């Protein structure tokens, strides 16, 4: 039996309330003070997973260790966050884990794991390589289902200078007609443009709302603590792969738009007949059933099953790493787990309805035949 650990933390107040129902209705400032007070105690186990079984016959189980800090608190107290992360990794080592995954903002605050790699004794991964692989595969499938031809499409990558966004641009640039890189600083984006020279038409922007105009496909992977894409930002028929944790796309998009396809990038089906999470608290990753996991979690499991003895996916993601983890995922039986949006499954029928709604409102070329068919039926 091989063992892994994965670091988690509450992404928002809703998560805190699922950990501790008594926090519901309390002033956020008070709840945040309590979370900081909890950091005086050791990180604690939030859940234990069993039943992971590779196609090779190898088995794995693992602990999900909780650090009680919100994303904005990790940003405000980076040294505290890093010390708790190191403490949690050391605890994982004592439990018998052979590798530890850095979930959500634990990766961001440690600079993709680089800031703590020399302070721990066991392999660490951000899970970003498989996150990139899963995001690209999911985006291609979603675009195809919506009738969008990638080689004629405008792709916007939000967070393009970050580890995940940068790798996505390098893989997809030769496959799209136009690419727009969105980030906080032009200097970082210009460096990325140089890497993509000759692959496709590339523009850069630090204004996300302006950049999204006319987008056919969007991959968003920022490190913002709050949603940055709203219902007004997207044109009918847009496909959005949201890789960020917490999500970059506002829930208002789900509530107000029936003509765009927004899905969570990197939801993976774990191999094994009896995959089971045993939560110590009500919080359960917003993933049902238990055999599904985020790609960053899945990468940790894959590397554990493979017995990789070294730090993986630290710092910037390399295309070679994306290709390697894709091969290992296939070897061990990990697969894309369909489409989900805000914790709910998206069916093929729902995608067809989204496409029909988009065809009624959009003049884009890929909706022409469907639009004419709808008009004819009328």
**Do 97 and 174 belong to one domain?**
no
**Do 178 and 315 belong to one domain?**
no
**Do 260 and 308 belong to one domain?**
no
Cis upstream peptide for 281 (omega within 30°): no
**Do 172 and 319 belong to one domain?**
no
User: How confident is the prediction along the chain (378 residues), in pLDDT tens digits per residue?
Assistant: 999 999 999 988 888 887 778 888 889 899 999 999 999 999 999 889 999 999 999 999 999 999 999 999 999 999 999 999 999 999 999 999 999 999 989 999 999 999 999 999 999 999 999 999 999 999 999 999 999 999 999 999 999 999 999 999 999 999 999 999 999 999 999 999 999 999 999 999 999 999 999 999 999 999 887 899 999 999 999 999 999 988 999 999 999 999 999 999 888 999 986 777 776 655 556 666 678 899 999 999 999 999 987 778 888 889 999 999 999 999 999 999 889 998 888 999 999 999 999 998 888 877 767 666 665 554
User: What's the number of domains the chain is made of?
Assistant: 2
**Do 26 and 157 belong to one domain?**
no
Residue 134: which of 284, 44, 266, 269 has the closest Cα?
266
How many residues in total does the chain contain?
378
**Do 219 and 353 belong to one domain?**
yes
Could you give the strand order of the β-sheet that contains 276-279, starting from the edge strand earlier in sequence?
124-125, 100-102, 2-8, 59-66, 44-53, 276-279
Residue 368: per-residue pLDDT? 65
CA distances from 312 to 113, 126, 272, 282, 355 (A): 10, 8, 24, 31, 39
CA–CA dist 277, 325 (Å, integer):
24
CA–CA dist 29, 13 (Å, integer):
11
**Do 250 and 272 belong to one domain?**
no
Cis upstream peptide for 136 (omega within 30°): no
**Do 12 and 146 belong to one domain?**
no
CA–CA dist 219, 175 (Å, integer):
14
State the distance between the two ends of the chain, measured CA to CA, in whole angstroms: 61
**Do 258 and 291 belong to one domain?**
no
Residue 342: per-residue pLDDT? 86
Domain with residue 174: its CATH number is: 3.40.50.720
Q: What is the pTM of this model?
A: 0.89
**Residue 7 domain boundaries:** 2-127+268-336
**Do 361 and 274 belong to one domain?**
no
**Do 361 and 328 belong to one domain?**
no
**Do 306 and 348 belong to one domain?**
no
């Amino acid at each position: 039996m091989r063992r892994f650990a994965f670091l988690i933390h509450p992404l928002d107040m809703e998560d805190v309330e699922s950990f501790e129902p008594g926090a519901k209705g309390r002033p956020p400032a008070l709840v945040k003070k309590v979370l900081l007070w909890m950091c005086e105690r050791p990180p604690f186990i939030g859940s234990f997973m069993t039943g992971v079984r590779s196609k090779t016959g190898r088995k794995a189980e693992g602990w999900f260790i909780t650090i009680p800090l919100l994303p904005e608190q990790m940003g405000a107290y980076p040294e505290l966050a890093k010390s708790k992360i190191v403490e949690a990794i050391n605890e994982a080592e004592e439990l018998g884990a052979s590798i530890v995954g850095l979930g959500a903002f634990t990766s961001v605050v440690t600079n993709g794991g680089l800031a703590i790699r020399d302070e721990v004794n066991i392999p660490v991964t951000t899970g970003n390589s498989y996150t990139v692989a899963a995001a690209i595969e999911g985006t291609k499938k979603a675009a195809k289902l919506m009738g969008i031809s990638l080689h004629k499409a405008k792709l916007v990558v939000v967070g393009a200078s970050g580890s995940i966004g940068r790798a996505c641009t390098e893989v997809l640039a030769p496959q799209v007609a136009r690419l727009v890189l969105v980030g906080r600083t032009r200097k970082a984006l210009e460096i990325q443009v140089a890497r993509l020279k000759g692959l496709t038409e590339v523009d850069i922007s630090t204004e996300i709302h302006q950049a999204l105009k006319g987008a056919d496909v969007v991959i968003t992977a920022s490190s913002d603590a709050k949603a940055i894409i709203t219902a007004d930002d997207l044109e009918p028929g847009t496909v959005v792969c949201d890789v960020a944790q917490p999500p970059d796309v506002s829930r208002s998009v789900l509530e107000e738009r029936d003509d765009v396809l927004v899905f969570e990038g990197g939801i993976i089906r774990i191999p094994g007949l009896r995959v089971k999470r045993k939560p110590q608290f009500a919080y359960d990753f917003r993933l049902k059933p238990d055999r599904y996991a985020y790609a960053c979690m899945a990468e940790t499991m894959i590397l554990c099953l493979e017995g990789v003895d070294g730090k993986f996916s630290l710092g910037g993601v390399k295309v070679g790493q994306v290709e390697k983890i894709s091969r290992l995922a296939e070897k061990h039986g990990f697969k894309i787990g369909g489409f989900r949006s805000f914790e709910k499954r998206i069916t093929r029928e729902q995608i067809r309805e989204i496409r029909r709604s988009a065809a009624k409102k959009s003049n884009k070329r890929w909706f022409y035949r469907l639009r004419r068919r709808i008009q004819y039926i009328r």
